[in-house]
Structure 1
Amino acid sequence: MNKNALQAEELVSLKSIYGSQWKENDIVKNLYSINIAQDVELYITLNSSYPLEGPPSYDLLAPNLTKNVKYIITCALDEIYFDNIGGPVLFQSIERIKDIVHKEGNNKGKKDKKNNGKKKTDNNLKITGKQSNVKYNIIHGETIQDRKSIFQGHVCVVNSEEDVKNVIKLLLQNKKISQAKHNISAYRITKQNGVLLQDCDDDGEYLADGRLMQLLQKLNVMNVVVIVTRWYGGIQLGNDRFKHINNAARLALQTGGFI
């Protein structure tokens, strides 16, 4: 069976499963769409080599979903593809997106009910350093939760090792953050003379700091310090904790516009 036949067979199956929800664009070739939920529409573009070679191209029209949820969806789609290279992935991908969006809707409803009447807090925390009289704009990323553990990244512009110490000190003035199990940090600074300063601290989360540093190096982010807070939920996550730490850092860097 050639690749076009495999693709055609999958499209027939999707039409059978989803009926009128599955739509083929009349103008753009190989473009399909399906309504995932209210205000969430998934667009799928298939190239001629799919599924034997190359993943589908996804576009998600979902103005009310947070960056964190969209990032989770992207990671889920990548995971499905790499677990099924050469095979059909559209049904699994659609159902996984539905699960994530449905879960987010339930969580949002609970949060709205819980926070009804409460003032929404800003995601940016501006603190004046006591020693240097420099204002540090510490930007907080959205949280990632897994088996009762919670991860959150924080990022701030720094130009010296003293700045790094001040930012961490100021961040730990937040009682909730200071009481967390770990606050892993990494920074990279380029001095005016071209000298590169970089260091990291695992704060008891063995090997996590080195992986965080590798992320900053890979992204080529300079003159920032990233701190990832982990509130331990009592259940060991194994190597998943490293993935969540780096993803939390990435979310903070994205929120701050550094990547």
Structure 2
Amino acid sequence: MDIEGNKQLQEDEIIVLSSIYESDIFYPNKDYEGDKSYTFKFPVLNEDDFSENDIEDQENIFLKLNIFYPETYPSDEPPIFEIECTWTEKGIDISLDEKYKKEISNKFLEIWNDFKGEVIVYEWVQTLTDYIESELKNSLIEDIKKNNASTTISLPVTPDTKSPNDSSEEDDLDESLKSMHITSFSNAPIPEGVKMPEIFSSKEPIVDRKSVFIAHIASIQYVTQVGMVVRELLKNKKIAKATHNMFAYRIEEEGGVINEGNDDDGEHGAGITLEGLLEVIDARNVFVMVSRWYGGIKLGPDRFKHIKDIALQLLDEHGYVQHKKKGPTTKNVKKKSKK
């Protein structure tokens, strides 16, 4: 299908969604003016929920699903998405556990694989609505009651907000690893004789509106090597200071089982984009990370294109782009959950 065909299907889908949902639930995303982007706003917890659970003086909590339409949707690629959870009245971001973000991403990917070539945003919305009610809602209530609404709130740690006591490089490195949710990778036992893989980085970055993107790859055979490679990369102060270091890996284990996973490092949707890229080119036994230094100007969905392009370029240079998958794999897939 050509770009015009995709454009028509997208416009038809937007008309249908606008007829189903009220304008305060589904509306254009004004943060990315000029881009084809829309937002769904879902209530997660309201005053009645707080009252029923004896939680006082709390305001409504909403979850937002930001959808970006690439030119290749729905013929070749799914929409790009971001998930935000905010305590609207307080203006505070609530950091969803990686478990929830990963589960939502996996559900979306399953739907895309089942309906590839068709518009799927409505199915995504229905799935997310069900997930909020069945999983997310009760978990947030338990966290708020248990921690008096404190530990569900996560503020980003930047060089300006770090404590003076966090001066040692090792402490900084451990904090970076913790924020990327790979502590379990770093602390896991490494099979005897496994050495640090050789790491290759992009020779030339992609630069767009002052944002800089560089990719890094390494050949790996064990999931524990993910932690080894990330720790080694973050020893480079320039990489450690990147705004985001998103990564994905894909390993073929015994019996043909594919073990794959990703981490957004705060750039929601980037990890699953990289994981999807590895799956599309059927790359195996490889780790890929993309470092992004934010230049102060929002790129909208262009940032996902740059993340994918810089990773694909480096993967191609090192022989990982051999063939594209023709259809869904018949092999078992084992996902690594983050903790």
Could you state the TM-score of these two structures normalised by the residue count of structure 1? 0.48
TM-score, normalised relative to structure 2:
0.37
Larger strand percent: 1
**Higher Cα Rg: structure 1 or 2?**
1
